[in-house]
Amino acid sequence: MSKFDLREWLRMADGAGQVELISGADSALEIGAASQLNYKRKNTKALIFDQIIGYRPGYRVLTGSVSNPRLMGMTLNLGLDLDDLELVEALRGKPQQWLEASPDFAAIEVSEGPIFENVIQKDHVNFLDFPSPIWHELDGGPYIGTGCAVITSDPDTGVFNLGAYRMQVQDDGASVSINVESGKHGFQHIRKWFEKEGRAPVTATLGQHPVFLVVAGTEVPAGVSEMDYAGAIMGQRVQYVRGPETGLPIPAESELAFEGWLYPDRTRPEGPFGEWTGYYSGDVAPVLTAEVTGLFHRSDPINLGAPPGKPPHDYSYMRSVMKSAMATDALIGVGLAGVRGVWCHEVGGGRSIVAVAIEQRYAGHSRQAGYLAAQHPVTAYMNRFVIVVDQDINPRDLDQVMWAMSTRCDPDRDIEIMRYTWGSRVDPLGLPGQPAYNTRALIDACRPFEHLADFPTVAESSAEVLDRVAEKWPGLRG
Ligand SMILES: Cc1cc2nc3c(=O)[nH]c(=O)nc-3n(C[C@H](O)[C@H](O)[C@H](O)COP(=O)(O)O)c2cc1C
């Protein structure tokens, strides 16, 4: 049995009480608003929308698929019952293990798959036949691709890349724009194809097992196919079919997918779109728009929605735990000594605020940790603040991080500014028409190395005294 079947995932999630059915929502605004209400509640669930107004019953949209630790644990093959801390614990070291195991789980080609149950040829393609939500009130149009994976290839090596790049419906339903930001691996592939052949082949899956959303939506290193990486996560090779025209892969159990070509001058106005920064910050811009040559879907397909917005949003939990695990592995992997924890905070979309805890070993160590965390490929895109703290601070606890900042950081000496770094078109501080640089601050909130021995002692009862007292009056411990 395939571990990459979204329907099996849904059955498991439902069995664990993690799915809520919403019937009769409008794809314009109501699916988005219902999803937002879900992300803001304490116990989020996966929401499956059916009987969507104006669409065939059975044509569904799923959101919230990775919005809590149980769903994430299930999606990443780590267990059905993990709470938040158990998930974080279970993820420790995993990204590196998955990377190393990827070659053993190379995806395999098959000739048939459920995705070919329905094949729609070029002239009959209409994305508007499928629920394409307008997620937020000021969005520029319906977006059929959010929790999606766009598949490109490196024309030199043949290595595939999966990237989650949003897709707005264009040309009255005949095509979609693919909003891939410069610097992303998919963008680099597309640019190479343009230089070599004048056009770039592309396939994309719009509904599929959420593990593809996780791998496509996080910074897996270049040169590693996210399909193999997904195989390593699940302990099973991904099976894929090839798009008949482009030859690029599509996971065989995908729900809804297409293939086509991108051309340098084939763009359409795209946006605005409610972004992960929490703003409609990208404005309208010309974006590459596919010439779609084929659309494929399972009967009664499920579109995987993952709309961003002011955090918490659909994938901010996923982004935060995955990035934190990857960044921890990355800093240890480059040989940084004394790493005690890294946390990419959800409130910063898992990107803008990164806290790193270290055990200081030498003068300059804390600055080194900060610079590395700010510029490692895993964390470099759209970071704005790196805060380095000592090992007595839990980097995941923003209150503790802020306390360290307010007591161990002298702004005059301990804040470094990096300029002309890797920003984004969606930065609310960005200026229209300007290159997407940003600026970032490294905040060294560690005790100064030369005062480690004589820095004032923290004023709180020791663990020993606390344990003794808590034993005496057990109700005091929450
Ligand atoms: C749901 C979702 C939507 C995303 N939308 C975009 C997007 O529209 N454009 C973009 O460049 N990155 C987007 N991202 C971020 C990229 O998917 C992410 O940076 C990923 O690492 C890109 O893959 P790559 O590094 O292989 O290019 C999105 C991520 C998620 C999870």
CATH of residue 120's domain is 2.30.110.10
- Do 228 and 364 reside in the same domain of the chain? no
- Do 429 and 386 reside in the same domain of the chain? yes
- Do 256 and 359 reside in the same domain of the chain? no
**Total structural domains within the chain:** 2
pLDDT digits (tens, 9 = 90+) for 254-307: 999 999 999 999 999 999 999 999 999 888 999 999 999 999 999 999 999 999
Q: Is 230 within the bounds of a domain? A: yes
- Do 246 and 347 reside in the same domain of the chain? no
Tell me how far apart the alpha carbons of residues 380 and 374 are, in angstroms, rounded to a whole number. Answer: 6
**Which residues, 6 or more positions from 9, have their beta carbon under 8 angstroms from its beta carbon?**
74, 75, 209, 210
Rounded to two decimals, the pTM is 0.95
Q: Is 201 within the bounds of a domain? A: yes
* 478 pLDDT higher than 80: no
Question: What residue owns the CA closest to ligand 1's atom 13?
Answer: 165
- Do 266 and 373 reside in the same domain of the chain? no
- Do 236 and 366 reside in the same domain of the chain? no
Give the model's pLDDT for residue 37: 98
Q: Which residues line ligand 1 (CB under 6 A)?
A: 146-147, 161, 163-166, 179-181, 184-186, 216-219, 306, 315
- Do 378 and 298 reside in the same domain of the chain? no
Q: Is 456 within the bounds of a domain? A: no
- Do 294 and 344 reside in the same domain of the chain? no
- Do 167 and 240 reside in the same domain of the chain? yes
pLDDT digits (tens, 9 = 90+) for 7-22: 999 999 999 999 999 9
CA 163–ligand 1 middle distance (angstroms): 6
- Do 246 and 379 reside in the same domain of the chain? no
Residue 432 or residue 160, greater confidence: 160
CATH of residue 382's domain is 3.40.1670.10
Atom in ligand 1 nearest the alpha carbon of residue 185: 27
Out of 304, 319, 343, a domain closes at 304
* 431 pLDDT higher than 90: no
Q: Is 2 within the bounds of a domain? A: no
Q: Is 62 within the bounds of a domain? A: no
CA 358–ligand 1 middle distance (angstroms): 29
Average pLDDT in the chain? 96
- Do 349 and 260 reside in the same domain of the chain? no
Give the model's pLDDT for residue 454: 98
> Average pLDDT in the 323-327 region?
95
- Do 270 and 162 reside in the same domain of the chain? yes
Atom in ligand 1 nearest the alpha carbon of residue 184: 27
Q: Is 457 within the bounds of a domain? A: no
Q: Is 106 within the bounds of a domain? A: yes
Atom in ligand 1 nearest the alpha carbon of residue 273: 8
Are 215 and 99 contacting, i.e. CB atoms less than 8 angstroms apart?
no
**Domain span holding position 349:** 334-451
Atom in ligand 1 nearest the alpha carbon of residue 166: 8
Q: Is 16 within the bounds of a domain? A: no
CA 180–ligand 1 middle distance (angstroms): 7
Ligand 1 pocket test, pick from 166, 167, 179 with the greatest ligand atom count within 8 Å of Cβ, gives 166
